């Protein structure tokens, strides 16, 4: 072996060593690429040769560092779970551009609604109203949600659309808009939840918020009805207040009437029995000296009475023995004082 | 040059990888596939896994998405049984269920899913027209049932499209179907608005009328009740007084022992009662004790 081929063999050997090292490094790198982390809001599923490893909850890898064989043997797929997902249905809402939506402006109302662009729903009494809903849900079965549907959120939205349509078709316009807003919302939620369950989307409905308005074209007409309703309850409230006042006063008056009668009765009875008692006491005295008793009582009474009398006028008899003529001027304006003439 | 075992292993691994690439294929959990031998479908695969095949050009693998596709069809106009024009659109969840049947129909097109949906759209249109024509408007919107007829309509459309698919055997399966839109032709909306406006007017008037009438009724009711309560109380009062008088009358037999004394006492007490308030009395000389002024009694004293 000459020096030249010796050097060539040497060079070949050393390059083989380099190739080997590179190969080993590549294999190591390939295996290392199988490491992946799962975030706190995520779960991961490993597909080996395209088939999910494990079933149900066991298939889900929790947060942390994991390893699987790299593609094409294994494939790891991450799914966001605990975040709440939102889906809105505008199938029953009039056409509105995103700018108008942000600014909160209503587009001008035409006289008709074009079914291609303007959404609305028909109520049970064949009225047209606008209604929209937002559904909030959580993914419960990520395998079903991700591997069962091309775009699961579209399926959720369709179910929500149907929920609105269905609920509206069973509710009267006034119930949807004013009388039974909560009931309507509940009906939408129930129908949507039921559909989602039947479709095995693997999710849990958290919340369903529904908003309904009358058509823009009829805003005033609806507002007038509301105004009339408010007016009506105001009238009724006033009438009820009046009713309370009147009946309360009447029952108070009635009570005092009865009370008065009762006290009158008690007084009458006690007066009479007191009189009867006194009569019993004086009867023996009267029987002994009727004339004297009479005289004594009369004088005594007159004496007592006369101290109370404000003005006492005494008429002396004229010389002829005839009573003098007396003229009285009665002031009619003071009705209380009584003028009385006592004749023996 | 001596054989290095490591070189040998690496060589074998490379051959194995090359062989696997040629002779195997994977079907993912989201897919179904069909293996064709010289262009003819020979083996459908519906379970995800690793499979063997002969290398191209002998065998070829066609895989399709097996997940549920969400499809919404066009808004189509149909006449209900009671001659209302109704625009309907439905949403459909469908998927490829039988790749052997699906493949020959759609494999040629660039987008088999879209091609299948175009076909579905046509058939759904026919199915809807047929079903809408069988139902009156009241089956779509009404308060009188609990939604059974609404669900029945959806079920009928679903049945129609399913039987259509069955006879044509396209390898498609409908997972679910529901109404998505239910609308009226544009010209009709205006007359609906007119009707709604007049309904609102009637309602507003009724509220106003009802409010006034009801308030009036409440007021007059209240007044009537008040009058009744007072009359009732007066009746009670009279009755109570009557009882009192009856009770008092029991004392009468005491006075019967000496009517003239009783009458005297009554007159005295009446006199006393009547002179309780401010009063003016005018006397002549005959009234005792003023007869004293006449000197009758003074005579007695002088004697």
**Could you tell me the domains of chain B?**
5-65 (no CATH), 69-184 (3.30.479.30)
pLDDT on residue B19: 87
pLDDT confidence band for B282 (50 / 70 / 90): confident
B3: pLDDT strictly greater than 70? no
Contact B207 A232 (CB under 8 A): yes
Contact A257 B234 (CB under 8 A): yes
Token representation of residue B34: 């069909």
Could you tell me if A100 lies within 8 Å of chain B, comparing CB atoms?
no
Query: Using one digit for the tens of pLDDT, what is the confidence trace for A67-81?
Result: 888 877 888 888 877
- Measured in residues, chain B has a length of 303
CA-derived radius of gyration, chain A: 53
- Calculate helix-pair angle for A3-32, B5-23, nearest 10 degrees: 50
pTM (2 decimals)?
0.72
**Percent of chain B whose pLDDT exceeds 90:** 42
Query: Using one digit for the tens of pLDDT, what is the confidence trace for B73-86?
Result: 999 999 999 999 99
Q: Are B128 and B90 in contact (CB under 8 A)?
A: yes
Q: Which residue of B has its CA nearest to A280?
A: B254
B93 C-beta neighbours (distance < 10 Å), count: 24
Contact A299 B289 (CB under 8 A): yes
CA–CA gap between residue B57 and residue A338 (Å, rounded): 141
Q: Are B173 and B95 in contact (CB under 8 A)?
A: yes
CA–CA gap between residue B257 and residue B237 (Å, rounded): 32
DSSP-derived pairing of the beta strands B59-65 and B69-72: unpaired
Q: Which residue of A has its CA nearest to B214?
A: A236
CA–CA gap between residue A105 and residue A102 (Å, rounded): 8
CA–CA gap between residue A82 and residue A137 (Å, rounded): 10
pLDDT confidence band for B2 (50 / 70 / 90): low
Token representation of residue B17: 């990888």
Query: Using one digit for the tens of pLDDT, what is the confidence trace for B89-126?
Result: 999 999 998 888 888 888 788 888 899 999 999 999 99
CA–CA gap between residue A292 and residue B271 (Å, rounded): 20
B71: pLDDT strictly greater than 90? yes
Contact B207 A266 (CB under 8 A): no
Task: Give the burial string for A232-241 (b: 16+ CB within 10 Å, else e).
Answer: beebbeebee
The gap from C-alpha B182 to its chain's centroid, in whole angstroms, comes to 19
CA–CA gap between residue A123 and residue B141 (Å, rounded): 6
pLDDT on residue A318: 61
CA–CA gap between residue B219 and residue A238 (Å, rounded): 9
CA–CA gap between residue B194 and residue B230 (Å, rounded): 54
pLDDT on residue A337: 52
Contact B289 A120 (CB under 8 A): no
Task: Give the burial string for A20-29 (b: 16+ CB within 10 Å, else e).
Answer: eeeeeeeeee
B289 preceded by a cis bond (ω within 30 of 0)? yes
Nearest to A77 by CA among A33, A140, A143, A137: A143
Query: Using one digit for the tens of pLDDT, what is the confidence trace for B249-266?
Result: 888 888 888 888 888 888
Nearest to B211 among A155, A191, A236 (CB): A236
Contacts of B179 in chain A (CB under 8 A): 162, 165-166
Contact B184 A344 (CB under 8 A): no
pLDDT confidence band for B50 (50 / 70 / 90): confident
Could you tell me if A53 lies within 8 Å of chain B, comparing CB atoms?
no
pLDDT on residue A231: 92
Give the A:B interface size as CB pairs under 8 Å. 369
Could you tell me if A279 lies within 8 Å of chain B, comparing CB atoms?
yes
pLDDT confidence band for B206 (50 / 70 / 90): very high
Per-residue pLDDT of chain A (344 residues; tens, 9 = 90+): 578 888 888 888 888 888 888 888 988 998 888 888 888 888 888 888 888 877 767 778 888 888 888 877 888 888 877 778 899 998 888 888 888 888 878 888 788 888 888 899 999 998 999 999 999 998 888 888 888 898 888 999 999 999 999 999 999 999 999 889 999 999 999 999 999 999 988 899 999 999 999 998 898 999 999 999 899 999 999 999 999 999 999 999 999 999 999 999 999 889 888 888 888 888 888 888 888 888 888 888 888 887 877 777 777 666 566 666 777 777 666 555 555 444 44
In Å, how far is A207's CA from the nearest CA of chain B? 21
**Assembly ipTM:** 0.74
CA–CA gap between residue A91 and residue A164 (Å, rounded): 9
In Å, how far is B68's CA from the nearest CA of chain A? 4
Q: Is B177 exposed, middle or buried (0-12, 13-18, 19+ CB in 10 A)?
A: buried
What stretches of chain B show up as alpha helix (H) in DSSP?
5-23, 99-106, 112-134, 137-140, 148-168, 186-249, 252-255, 259-274, 296-302
pLDDT on residue B302: 42
Could you tell me if A246 lies within 8 Å of chain B, comparing CB atoms?
yes
pLDDT on residue B222: 93
């Amino acid at each position: 072996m000459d020096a030249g081929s010796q050097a060539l063999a040497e060079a070949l050997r050393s390059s083989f060593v380099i190739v080997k090292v590179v190969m080993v490094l590549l294999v190591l790198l390939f295996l290392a690429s199988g490491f992946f982390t799962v975030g706190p809001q995520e779960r991961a599923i490993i597909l080996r040769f395209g088939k999910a490893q494990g079933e149900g909850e066991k298939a889900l890898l929790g947060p942390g560092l994991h390893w699987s064989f790299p593609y094409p043997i294994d494939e790891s797929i991450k799914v966001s779970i605990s975040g709440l997902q939102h889906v809105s249905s505008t199938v029953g809402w009039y056409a509105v551009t995103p700018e108008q939506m942000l600014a909160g402006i209503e587009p001008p109302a035409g006289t008709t609604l074009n079914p291609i662009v303007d959404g609305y729903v028909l109520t049970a009494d064949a009225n047209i109203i606008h209604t929209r809903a937002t559904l909030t849900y959580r993914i419960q079965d990520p395998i079903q949600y991700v591997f069962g549907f091309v775009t699961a959120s579209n399926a959720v939205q369709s179910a929500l659309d149907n929920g609105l349509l269905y609920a509206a078709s069973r509710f009267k316009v006034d119930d949807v808009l004013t009388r039974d807003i909560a009931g309507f919302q509940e009906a939408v939620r129930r129908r949507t939840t039921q559909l989602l369950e039947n479709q095995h989307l693997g999710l849990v409905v958290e919340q369903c918020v529904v908003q309904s308005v009358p058509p823009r074209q009829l805003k005033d007409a609806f507002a007038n009805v509301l105004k009339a309703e408010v007016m009506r309850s105001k009238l009724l409230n006033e009438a009820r207040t009046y009713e309370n006042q009147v009946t309360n006063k009447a029952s108070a008056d009635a009570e005092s009437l009865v009370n008065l009668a009762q006290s009158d009765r008690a007084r009458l009875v006690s007066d009479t029995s007191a009189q009867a008692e006194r009569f019993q006491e004086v009867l023996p005295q009267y029987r002994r000296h009727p004339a004297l008793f009479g005289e004594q009582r009369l004088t005594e009474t007159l004496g007592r009475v006369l101290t109370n009398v404000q003005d006492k006028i005494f008429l002396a008899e004229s010389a002829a023995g005839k009573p003098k003529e007396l003229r009285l001027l009665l002031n009619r304006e003071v009705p209380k004082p009584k003028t009385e003439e006592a004749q023996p | 040059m001596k054989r290095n075992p490591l070189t040998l292993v690496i060589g074998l691994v490379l051959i194995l990888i090359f062989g696997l690439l040629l002779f195997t294929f994977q079907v993912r959990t989201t897919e179904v596939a069909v293996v064709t031998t010289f262009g003819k479908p020979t083996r459908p695969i519906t379970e995800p896994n690793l499979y063997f095949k002969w290398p191209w050009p002998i065998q070829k693998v066609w895989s399709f998405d097996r997940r549920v596709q969400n499809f919404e069809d066009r808004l189509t106009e149909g006449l209900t049984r009671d001659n209302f024009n109704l625009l309907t659109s439905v949403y459909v969840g469908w998927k490829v269920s039988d790749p052997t049947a699906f493949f020959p129909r759609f494999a040629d097109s660039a987008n088999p899913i879209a091609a299948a949906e175009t076909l579905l759209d046509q058939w759904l249109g026919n199915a809807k027209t047929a079903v809408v024509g069988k139902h009156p408007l009241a089956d779509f919107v009404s308060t009188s049932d609990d939604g059974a007829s609404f669900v029945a309509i959806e079920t009928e459309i679903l049945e129609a499209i399913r039987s259509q698919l069955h006879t044509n055997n396209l390898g498609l399966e409908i997972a679910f179907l529901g109404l998505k839109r239910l609308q009226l032709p544009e010209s009709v909306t205006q007359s609906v608005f007119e009707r709604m406006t007049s309904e609102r007017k009637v309602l507003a008037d009724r509220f106003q009328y009802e409010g006034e009438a009801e308030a009036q009724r409440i007021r007059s009711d209240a007044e009537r009740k008040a009058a009744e309560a007072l009359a009732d109380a007066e009746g009670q009062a009279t009755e109570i007084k009557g009882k009192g008088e009856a009770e008092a009358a029991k004392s009468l037999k005491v006075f019967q022992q000496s009517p003239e004394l009783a009458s005297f006492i009554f007159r005295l007490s009446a006199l006393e009662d009547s002179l309780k308030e401010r009063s003016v009395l005018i006397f002549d000389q005959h009234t005792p004790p003023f007869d004293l002024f006449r000197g009758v009694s003074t005579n007695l004293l002088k004697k």
